[in-house]
Amino acid sequence: MSQTKDIPVPDIGDFDKVEVIEVLVSPGDTIAPEDSLITLESDKASMEIPSPAGGTVKEVRVQVGDKVAQGDTIVTVETADKGAAASSEAPQEPAPESTAEAATGSDEPAGTSVAGADQPAHRESAGDQQPVQASPAAPSDTDIQCQVLVLGSGPGGYTAAFRAADLGLNVVLVERYDSLGGVCLNVGCIPSKAYLHTAEIITGAERAAEHGVEFGSPTIDTDKLRGFKDGVVDKLTGGLKSMAKQRGVTVVHGDGHFVSPNSVAVESNEATQTVGFERAIIAAGSESAKIPALPWDDERVMTSTGALEVDEIPKRLLVIGGGIIGLEMACVYDALGSKVTVCELADGLMPGTDRDLVKILEKRIKSRYEAIYTQTKVTQADAQKQGIKVRFEGDKAPETDVFDRVLVSVGRAPNGHNIGADAAGVTVDERGFIAVDEFQRTNVGHIHAIGDIVGQPMLAHKATHEGKVAAEVCAGHKSAFDARTIPSVAYTDPEVAWTGLTETEAKERGIAYEKASFPWAASGRALGMGRDDGATKLLYDPETQQVLGAGIVGPHAGDLIAEATLAIEMGADVQDVGLTIHPHPTLSESVAFAAEIAEGTITDLYLPKQRKRSR
Ligand code: FAD
């Protein structure tokens, strides 16, 4: 027998009348117990109100904008008889419910902590408390139980684990390798930058000849060079191990895959352990994409991971892929003495990046590298005794050529298909990406995902930021990923960096903008460094003058881009930037000079047509 039941607003704590900001059900919908019905928002918090019963929604008694209080009817539901109701409570996808009790902090569900004093202001409404989100209980028949399981210990994963632990949650961090830190610390950002620093010293010493100081050609001890890189990596990964211990994070080493929506099996050579969790954060990252037709069993064909071993310096190196990672490694090997050829499928290097920026990099590397082939494809490669024989398809490239080593750098593939996501009901797309909302939640409400596995840009600083959001949401904080921009940097020589709107994107999307570009040839600091091959440009709104984007090319562009990123986050206009006193003589002045060009107040350049705006 079915019966109708009015579902009222439950106890929502100290609030008198609270506004309905979202109605999540419609008449005719079938709902399960704990499905959210509406979202309420007070000046302190927003909260989803779950249904205590399952059934069919007959009538929705509130609408967006209504103010409701405890006891007001939200919906009328036709419930099934007892037997049917029981079956509707059978396992279901756990939704990211909030409980009204939790909103008051009065009845904190197990496994959660009430938002505390150290909530970051930047991701949350000022002074807010987020209702603690109820999590399904971890199964009891597992080897280890935790409130938050983090799968993968890269920059996203370790950040999420540490932040969650700092917020008082009981955390297990699962990592398949012995060393924590993921791609970034072990075979990515950090080792590549250690080598790039060496490259900078070598090429800087070469350039010193132009200033009258000559050094002989460098003698390179590859073991020592690798040892330096390994030392840097060990210090950082060792630091993570200690910090995990200090924070009480349990680290379980082994290959983890979901076996249910609330447990992960972790397989290692020694044993298989199951870890039950209330919430999970997937941070399994990505790996180098491979071109299948290449002879991968020959160690002379490498991904970036192999190239970072620098076990020899090849006389002739082919880099397949003219993106950021390929060009950074090209820069390292060029400085170490290899003759470098770069082959890129698109019609220019670093596809998608503004051409005026790339042109400056291209000018420098063209003069150093053996060849750069764009619109060129490698169709075949054969391992031969004298080297790797490569067949090219493209107008400018030879039909074949032989290289001592080949570095394949054609992008990164997310690890979404290697974690048993199906068993947890988490949707993974064909390419291996997992879609998430602004709270980093997957389609399964109590399972979050962060970092490379959730999509572009695949960058460590995006992963760490997302990791903090996911951890804070797990702890019941009102956090969301709402960054206006994520800066990108190629640590090539010269470096290329951009943030916010690019000209390429503005043109594609028909966005109106104005541009102010300051050439480093007019920067005293750049000239003193012998590096006038740089430029700083700001894109800004023609009406409001608000900074929309920035692109910088030149040494340390990666450091300089942070100021423009802050300007965008803060909604600054070009006048704010231009009137900010920058230290002299620095490269950072170039950002202010670009703003002064926009303002028409620059005196370090003579621009006859500039507007004569007063300061
Ligand atoms: P990852 O760092 O990929 O970590 C994922 C972790 O999960 C790994 O440790 C992996 O072993 C583990 N894992 C995966 N599956 C499982 C499983 N089933 N069980 C247990 N553990 C699992 N980014 C920048 O921002 N700046 C740079 O300068 C930069 N330079 C780079 C240079 C190179 C050569 C490369 C390759 C990448 C570079 N990146 C850079 C990209 C950066 O490394 C990634 O964006 C970042 O590491 C992604 O972090 P993540 O936490 O998502 O995942």
* 48-103: pLDDT as tens digits: 788 888 889 999 999 988 999 888 999 998 886 443 333 333 323 333 333 222 22
Atom of ligand 1 nearest to the CA of 308: 34
Is residue 189 lining ligand 1, measured as CB closer than 6 Å? yes
Active-site option among 211, 253, 465, 584 = 584
Contact 493, 362 (CB under 8 A): no
Give the pLDDT confidence of 130-144 residue by residue, as tens digits: 434 456 677 778 899
Looking up tokens 């993921």 gives 182
Residue carrying the six token digits 């490379």 = 452
- The residue whose C-alpha atom lies closest to atom 46 belonging to ligand 1 is 460
What local confidence, expressed as pLDDT, does residue 608 receive? 79
- C-beta separation of 539 from 500 below 8 A: yes
- Nearest residue to 228 (alpha-carbon basis) of 206, 202, 201, 197: 197
| pLDDT computed for residue 615 by the predictor | 54
3-state SS, 521-561, equals HHCHHHHHCCCCCCEEEEEECCCCCEEEEEEEECCCHHHHH
Q: What percent of the chain has pLDDT over 70?
A: 88
182, 159 contact by CB (below 8 A): no
Dihedral, CA atoms, 567, 568, 571, 574, nearest 10 degrees?
60
Q: Does position 457 have pLDDT exceeding 60, yes or no?
A: yes
Are 505 and 511 a contacting pair, CB within 8 Å?
yes
Ligand 1 centroid to residue 283 C-alpha, Å: 9
Q: Find where tokens 């291996």 sit.
A: 432
43 pLDDT tier (thresholds 50, 70, 90):
low
- Beta-carbon contacts of 121 under 8 Å, excluding residues fewer than 6 positions away, are none
Instruction: Check residue 33 and report its DSSP letter.
Output: T
Mean pLDDT over 147-156 rounds to: 98
Grouping H, G, I as helix, E, B as strand and the rest as coil, residue 448 is strand
Instruction: Tell me the CA–centroid distance for residue 383 and ligand 1, in Å.
Output: 29
Q: In angstroms, how far is CA 81 from the centroid of its own chain? A: 48
As given in the structure block, the two tokens for residue 241 are 């191990």
Ligand 1 lined by 460 (C-beta under 6 Å): yes
> Residue 1's pLDDT is what?
56
Q: What is the pLDDT of residue 16?
A: 75
Q: What is the mean pLDDT of residues 313-332?
A: 98
Longest dimension (CA), the chain: 96
Taking alpha carbons only, the member of 135, 184, 166, 173 closest to residue 151 is 173
Structure tokens at 502: 């690019």
Please report, for residues 205, 491, 531, 596, the alpha-carbon distance to residue 534 in angstroms, rounded to integers and kept in the order given: 19, 14, 7, 17
The answer to whether residue 171 scores a pLDDT higher than 90 is: yes
| Digit-coded pLDDT (tens) for 357-408 | 999 999 999 999 999 999 999 999 999 999 999 999 998 999 999 999 999 9
Q: Is 174 in the pocket of ligand 1 (CB under 6 A)?
A: yes
CA 575 to chain centroid, in Å, comes to 30
**What's the pLDDT at 135?**
64
CB 560 within 8 A of CB 591: yes
**How long a stretch of residues is the chain?**
615
Q: Whose CA is nearest to atom 9 of ligand 1?
A: 182
Q: 456 vs 112, which has greater pLDDT?
A: 456
Measured in whole angstroms, the distance separating CA 120 from the mean position of its chain's CA atoms is 19
The 3-class secondary structure across 139-163, one letter per residue, is: CCCCCEEEEEEEECCCHHHHHHHHH
- Span of 20-24, 57-61, 423-427, 504-508 with lowest mean pLDDT: 20-24
**Whether 584 is catalytic:** yes
Distance 538 CA to ligand 1 centre (A): 31
User: Is the model's pLDDT at 126 over the cut of 90?
Assistant: no
> Is residue 463 in contact with ligand 1, taking CB distance under 6 Å?
yes
- Residue 398 is classified by DSSP as -
- For residue 404, give the nearest of 469, 481, 483, 336 by alpha carbon: 336
Burial of 308 (0-12, 13-18, 19+ CB in 10 A): buried
Nearest to 379 by CA among 452, 308, 292: 292
Query: Of 183, 229, 259, 282, which is best to mutate to test ligand 1, by the most ligand atoms within 8 angstroms of its C-beta?
Result: 183
- Cα(452) to centroid of ligand 1, in Å? 7
Minimal CA–CA distance to 7: which of 64, 68, 66, 71?
71
Per-residue DSSP letter, 98: B
Note whether 163 and 112 are within 8 A (CB).
Answer: no
List the Cα angle 511/517/518 in 5-degree steps: 160
Torsion-angle region of 149 (φ positive above 0: left; ψ -120 to 50: alpha; else: beta): beta
Q: Are strands 400-403 and 387-393 parallel, antiparallel or unpaired?
A: antiparallel
* Cα distances (angstroms) measured from residue 289 to each of 43, 302, 520, 532: 47, 11, 37, 36
Looking from the CA of 569 toward its CB, the CA atoms found within 13 Å total 15
Q: 286-288 and 412-414 as β-strands: parallel, antiparallel, unpaired? A: antiparallel
- Ligand 1 centre to CA of 454 (Å) is 12
